[in-house]
């Protein structure tokens, strides 16, 4: 007959579980990396918005109303997508791991449910806005660009859309799997 106290004593006397020489250093390294990543994220976000605004002014899009709307739709949807991702990452990190396991699980499930809503409602709207903006720009591209370059823009836009679509779909599937896993945990 196996005795629980004996199991407990063996459990507590396990070997090689003490902190190694470089463990503490690795923790501080991770913290440093984390702070760096946060800065990089902020920089990328800010940089993207600045580049988009600069491009808008550079092509003098505001002088032509179709171009204004078209470019605004394209850039706005792109900016919105980045903002949503930024906010989402922040929200996930804000779920403190120091709360009870029961509360933590519930908060994680809520987070993934909100993400699912974003994927099913907001993301398709964003993609549609981007496509609409691109379609509005097409006559302008045709008028101002050589036929070869115009064809290149059309084909590359389709390829980019397909690749991005596949990437987003993969991420959506993974998050849905995560949600299912969490909901199945007893």
Partner 1 sequence: MNPKEKQFKKAYEANFTKVMRLCMGYVEGENAMARDLTQEVFVKVWESMHKFRGESSFDTWIYRIAINTCLLNLRKNKPFVKNYKVEEVTALEIPEPETDKAQMLKQMYACINKLSETNRAIILLELEGMPQKSIAEVMGIRHEAVRTRIHRIKNELTKCIQDG
Considering the complex, state which of residue 25 and residue 125 has its C-beta at the smaller distance from partner 1.
Answer: 25
Residue 27 touching partner 1 (CB under 8 A) = yes
Give, in degrees to the nearest 5, the angle at Cα 39 between 36 and 43.
Answer: 140
Residue 24 touching partner 1 (CB under 8 A) = yes
d(CA 62, CA 69): 9
Taking CB under 8 A as the binding criterion, the range among 13-21, 44-52, 54-62, 77-85 that sits at the site for partner 1 is 13-21
Q: DSSP per residue over the chain, as a string?
A: ---HHHHHHHHHT-SS-SPPTTHHHHHHHHHHHHHHHHHHHHHHHHHHHHHHHHHHHHTTGGGSHHHHHHHHHHHHHHHHHHHHHHHHHHHHHHS-TTS-HHHHHHHHHHHHHHHHHIIIIIHHHHHHHHHHHHHHHHHHHHHHS-HHHHHHHHHHHHHHHHHHHHHHHHHHHHHHHHHHHHHH--
Taking CB under 8 A as the binding criterion, the range among 40-48, 66-74, 80-88, 92-100 that sits at the site for partner 1 is 92-100
Given 34, 40, 83, 162, the residue binding partner 1 (CB under 8 A): 34
Site for partner 1, residues 97 to 126, rule: CB under 8 A: 97-105, 108
Residue 176 touching partner 1 (CB under 8 A) = no
Residue 183 touching partner 1 (CB under 8 A) = no
Q: One symbol per residue from 47 to 86: x for binding partner 1 (CB under 8 A), - otherwise; what is it?
A: ----------------------------------------
Residue 21 touching partner 1 (CB under 8 A) = no
Residues that bind partner 1 (CB under 8 A): 1-4, 7-8, 10-12, 14, 16-20, 23-24, 26-27, 30-31, 34, 96-105, 108, 178, 181-182, 185-186
């Amino acid at each position: 007959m196996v005795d629980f106290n004996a199991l407990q004593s063996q459990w507590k006397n396990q070997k090689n579980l003490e902190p190694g020489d470089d463990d503490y250093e690795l923790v501080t390294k991770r913290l440093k990396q984390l702070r760096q990543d946060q800065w990089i994220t902020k920089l990328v976000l800010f940089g993207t918005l600045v580049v988009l605004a600069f491009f808008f002014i550079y092509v003098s899009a505001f002088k032509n109303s179709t171009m204004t709307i078209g470019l605004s739709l394209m850039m706005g949807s792109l900016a919105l997508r980045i903002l949503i991702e930024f906010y989402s990452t922040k929200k996930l990190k804000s779920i403190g791991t120091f709360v009870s396991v029961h509360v933590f699980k519930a908060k994680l499930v809520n987070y993934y449910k909100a993400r699912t809503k974003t994927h099913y409602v907001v993301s398709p709207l964003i993609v549609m806005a981007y496509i609409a903006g691109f379609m509005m720009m097409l006559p302008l591209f045709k008028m101002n660009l050589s036929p070869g370059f115009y064809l290149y823009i059309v084909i590359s836009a389709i390829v980019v859309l397909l690749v991005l679509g596949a990437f987003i779909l993969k991420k959506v599937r993974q998050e849905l799997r995560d949600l299912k896993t969490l909901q199945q945990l007893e």
